[in-house]
A and B are shown apart, each in its own frame.
Chain A
């Protein structure tokens, strides 16, 4: 069973984001990048499936600059067998564009299971799984929190509004992974040592023209300073008044 995990390199979650001079992208100087947190669940699930089946390969796939190799090394250290960076210097935003480039790779290098995070924590677009499955003609289950595989069919659970949904899906399929699916493993030290001997390939991304573009990007307004309304019991009515009519919190 060949499993591909689509991974995005995103700014570390504790980054103080600054808007770049063009007003449409973020300043990447001094920003450290890491594996998208939801993709960690996807990678872990791929490794679990491989361990369950006792055979197969797990390939980590990403699109981005050559610098994305660092995140791919992390995937290899955690247990992926092989990693591929589809390189581009463009700052890609359009989910359809990403899906097309990944689909082109996957048509030439077929996989039975494609796993990805439910969304990237930087752009929160939530577009990849559906876009990719449509292009590959695969089944698609999104935001799964439990996944079991038997005889080429998945049983997946999804948390939907007020309920838990159980669905089945035949392979080949694209599955997007949600928090709760598993507990991603740490890269252990032997894994890190092994990672440098594993194949890490680069190929130019075959990118179609973008249909979407970012027009502008701005930071949320700075939070206003707090205000002390008064002290003690006497201040309570004024506090309730402010919470009700000003903050509209109660």
Chain B
């Protein structure tokens, strides 16, 4: 059966996008409908990522799509946001895969790497022939990444890294890891090819969330890399945080896709499901729920559109991204919870996608800055008082 998905556009937000941006959005939407939707539930059950689709996504051009040169598409902020939206409509694991590849791995190489590093990695990464992961978080350092314990020391022409990273998307799938570690007490970025002796990625098992995604632990034991593998263009915590700003921007757009999937499924169900001889869409309480979802999705679309305009104009700050990431993850998760309620008992099986999205969003509202931490980033901006530490 063909994918029946229809996206909500209650405020004609499509009018705000260019013809080209709409074509890009629709190209990714069709790809997700045709290629991804038929296989996602099986992969979610088996806790596997559909690896055979990785090169197709490269062919489509979604990896590092906002970057220019090196085989990247050079798209507008709106277009790159809409790509995330359409991917996450399929599954947060799919969008995570692409975000990690583009925003967290290709972006720092593109922004802070040497020309040799760019030539070595970016074209193959854009094509999906080489997969990256981003090692910042450690088991005991999530919201406080600056406290990391992973260290690098100089040894002749090499750096030797020791430590471990946790919750690393693509950690066991990757061919290259961007690992952030302290060199003489300063955070620096290192490019570690996954076949380097002393580098291991180990999958974290038994997740309820992001099941169709590789989440791993990285272990670095006397991992020796040539000095040419350091990112020379950045020092300190602002390096990884600048990558996270890019990725959070994609999440703000992405989760609109999850919310849209939830709304679409709930609406369709409410029109079909008969209770007391009437479709449940005819009852006021159900309508109220659908109205809430549609209103929040519309607000999120407009928030993201304006965020994209600021990104384009160079006036977007990280706290702007925090507001969109925080608000949209929350509203998407609420949409899934409310949508699950509309689906009644049927909503708990994977015949419906509602709980898959809901469980995924428990990760998405947590990773790349939790809901509360983003609140504190915004609060700091509003009051001038830092309540994080």
* CA distance in complex: A188, B31 (Å): 10
Asked if A186 and B60 make an inter-chain contact with CB atoms under 8 angstroms apart, the answer reads: yes
Complex interface: stretch among A20-28, A70-78, A89-97: A70-78
- Which one of A109-117, A170-178, A189-197, A202-210 is at the interface? A189-197
Against A, the Cβ 8 Å flags (1 = close, 0 = not) of B78-90 are 0100010000000
Q: What is the bound-complex CA distance between A189 and B71, given in angstroms?
A: 11
A13 shortest CB reach to chain B, Å = 9
By a CB distance below 8 angstroms, the chain B residues around A195 are 20, 23
Chain B 32-75, CB-CB to A under 8 Å as 1, else 0, gives: 00000000000000000000000000011110010000000111
In the complex, whether A187 has a CB less than 8 A from a CB of chain B is yes
Which single member of A186, A188, A192 contacts B20 (CB below 8 Å)? Answer: A192
> Which of B27, B74, B79 has the most chain A CB atoms closer than 10 A to its own CB?
B27
Q: In the complex, given contacts A74-B23, A190-B61, what are 12 additional A-B residue pairs having Cβ atoms less than 8 angstroms apart?
A: A73-B19, A73-B23, A186-B27, A188-B59, A189-B27, A189-B61, A189-B65, A189-B75, A189-B79, A192-B20, A192-B24, A195-B20
Which of the four size classes fits the interface of chain B? Answer: 10 to 19
Contact mask for chain A residues 185-228; partner B; CB cutoff 8 A; 1 contact, 0 none: 01111101101100000000000000000000000000000000
A59 to B75, alpha carbons, bound, how many Å? 26
Chain A residues whose CB sits within 8 angstroms of the CB of B60 once the complex forms: 186, 188-189
CA distance A193 to B24 in the complex (A): 9
- Judge if B30 is at the interface, Cβ distance under 8 Å: yes
Chain B residue nearest to A34 in the complex (CB)? B26
Question: Shortest CB–CB separation between residue B312 and chain A, in angstroms?
Answer: 16
Pairs across A and B, CB under 8 Å, 6 listed:
A186-B31, A187-B27, A188-B27, A189-B61, A190-B61, A195-B20
C-alpha spacing A74/B59, complex, angstroms: 17
Which positions in A face B, CB cutoff 8 Å?
A: 70, 73-74, 77, 186-190, 192-193, 195-196
CA–CA, A196 and B74, complex, Å? 14
Q: Which residue of A lies closest to B23 (CB)?
A: A192
Residue of B20, B31, B62 near A193 (CB, 8 A) is: B20
Q: Which residues of chain B are near A188, meaning CB under 8 Å?
A: 27, 59-61
Min CB distance A191 to B, Å, is 8
Cβ distance B267 to chain A, nearest Cβ, rounded Å: 16
B276 nearest CB across to chain A (Å)? 19
Considering the chains assembled together, what is the distance between the CA atoms of A189 and B27 in angstroms?
A: 8
Known: A73-B23, A74-B23. A189 touches B73 (CB 8 A): yes
Q: Is the interface of A mostly helix, strand, loop or mixed?
A: helix
Please encode chain B, from 309 to 343, with 1 for each CB lying within 8 Å of some chain A CB and 0 for all others. Answer: 00000000000000000000000000000000000
Residues in A neighbouring B24, C-beta threshold 8 A = 189, 192
Residues from chain A with Cβ under 8 Å of B65 in the complex: 189
User: Is there an interface contact between A193 and B73, defined as CB atoms closer than 8 Å?
Assistant: yes
B23 and A77 contacting across the interface, CB-CB below 8 Å = yes
Determine which residue in B60, B62, B74, B83 has the highest number of CB atoms from chain A within 10 A of its CB, and name it. B60
Q: How far is the CA of A73 from the CA of B21 in the complex (A)?
A: 12
A182 to B280, CA, bound (A): 44
Which 10 interchain pairs have the tightest Cβ spacing?
A189-B61, A189-B73, A188-B61, A192-B23, A188-B60, A190-B61, A190-B73, A187-B27, A192-B24, A189-B24
Min CB–CB distance B53 → chain A (angstroms) = 13
What are the interface flags for B150-168 relative to A under an 8 Å C-beta threshold, 1 for contact and 0 otherwise?
A: 0000000000000000000
- Name A185's closest neighbour in chain B (CB-CB): B59
Q: How far is the CB of A226 from chain B (nearest CB, A)?
A: 14
Residues from chain B with Cβ under 8 Å of A73 in the complex: 19, 23
Give the distance in Å from the alpha carbon of A195 to the alpha carbon of B61 in the complex: 15
Cα A195 to Cα B23 in complex, Å, equals 11
Distance in Å: Cβ of A16 to nearest Cβ of chain B? 12
Q: How far is the CA of A31 from the CA of B246 in the complex (A)?
A: 36
Chain B residue with Cβ nearest A192: B23
Least distance between B220 CB and chain A CB atoms (Å): 35
**Separation of A195 and B60 alpha carbons in the complex (Å):** 15
Residues in A whose Cβ lies below 8 Å from that of B74: 193
Most A Cβ at <10 Å: residue of B59, B61, B74: B61
Which A residues are CB-close (under 8 A) to B27? Answer: 77, 186-189, 192
